[in-house]
Amino acid sequence: MTKKVYVGMSGGVDSSVAAALLQDQGYDVTGVYMKNWTTNVAGYTCSWQTDFQDAKRVAVQLGIPIKVYDFETQYRQRVVDIMLKEYKAGRTPNPDILCNQEIKFKLFLDMALKDGADMIATGHYAQVKNGKLFKAIDGNKDQTYFLYRVTTVALQKTIMPLGALTKPQVRIIAKQKKLATALKKDSQGICFIGEIPIAEFLIAELGQQSPGPIIDQHGKQVGTHDGAILYTIGQRHGFRVGGGLPYYVTGKHVGRNELYVTSDLQDEALWKNNLEIVDTHWINGAPDNKHHYSVCVRYRSEPVGVDKIQKLATNHFRLALTEDVKAVTPGQSAVIYCRNRCVGGGLIV
């Protein structure tokens, strides 16, 4: 019996090719456009209508049905509100990770299965094998960093057709099949809005922030910032200081609205050789110290070896690293790998 697969179609080239490949492989394919966000912000137009039209065009080309799942209310509650809460607390969250955890591999999966699907599929660059998550062949596009909070159960019901392809190969397939999205540019910026800079989105949602002091490594005020929540550890620009050497953010105190910087790239405040993670999620069980692990502290960062993993409490671990890592940022995710398998990870504190 032919398996029914519901593929998330975002209106981009990746999910379009994923749908086409599944059809070629003999699956009964239905496209699903997830309507997560439709609000225009601060003069930036949300692209959802254009994206939906592009998804529909590809569905018509492939001769497959397309549905719309409206997750806008849940998306606001489970992704955007949590993201804003984290920023207000002085941390730097990753909404793409929340979206995958709460929307694509929870709400979408559950609704698709109730709707009659046997499996779901997405255009992510990652590989799924027997409920385990592995890096994509294309290391430059690998998206396992954003997928580390997906459950084993969800992965067992998921197909990711692009994991064994490179981005150039996906573009070639799209052109060969004359898909409407073949030449469409990849989306940039915040996952659910697009091109709007994060600082402008935060101001639109949370209001204009109060300026405060920028304090250097010697305890001297060297300038004024636009609101502590708008800055990220390791950030080089975006604040006003005098001439001379560039400054890098080493920390912030949201309560006092202070931003801490250094002009010394070797300042120990910028570097760490250990870190702690909380709210951990392990895809196929927690790591032990019998295997060799590496960790990425942000998307596309170079993986660093893990010397030791120590469990401090439930969902709270300390990682001793084999070398110093720059700009470890509270609220971001540290994602752990065993060779090319994504083990899981947690939020940096």
Bridge-partner residues for 196, per DSSP? none
**How far is the C-alpha of 262 from the C-alpha of 215, rounded, in Å?**
8
Instruction: Report, as residue numbers or ranges, the catalytic residues.
Output: 99, 191
Output the six-digit token pair for 245.
């050497």
**How far is the C-alpha of 147 from the C-alpha of 131, rounded, in Å?**
13
**How far is the C-alpha of 16 from the C-alpha of 31, rounded, in Å?**
9
* CB within 8 Å of 177: residues ≥ 6 apart: 17, 20, 61
3-state secondary structure the chain: CCCEEEEECCCCHHHHHHHHHHHHCCCEEEEEEEECCCCCECCECCCHHHHHHHHHHHHHHHCCCEEEEECHHHHHHHHHHHHHHHHHCCCCCCHHHHHHHHHHHHHHHHHHHHCCCCEEECCCCEEEECCEEEECCCCCCCCHHHHCCCCHHHHCCEECCCCCCCHHHHHHHHHHCCCCCCCCCCCCCECCCECCCHHHHHHHHHCCCCCEEEECCCCCEEEEECCHHHCCCCCCCCCEECCCCCCEEEEEECCCCEEEEECCCCCHHHEEEEEEEEEEEECCCCCCCCCCEEEECCCCCCCEEEEEEEEEECCEEEEEEEEEEECCCCCCEEEEEECCEEEEEEEEC
Bridge-partner residues for 66, per DSSP? 31
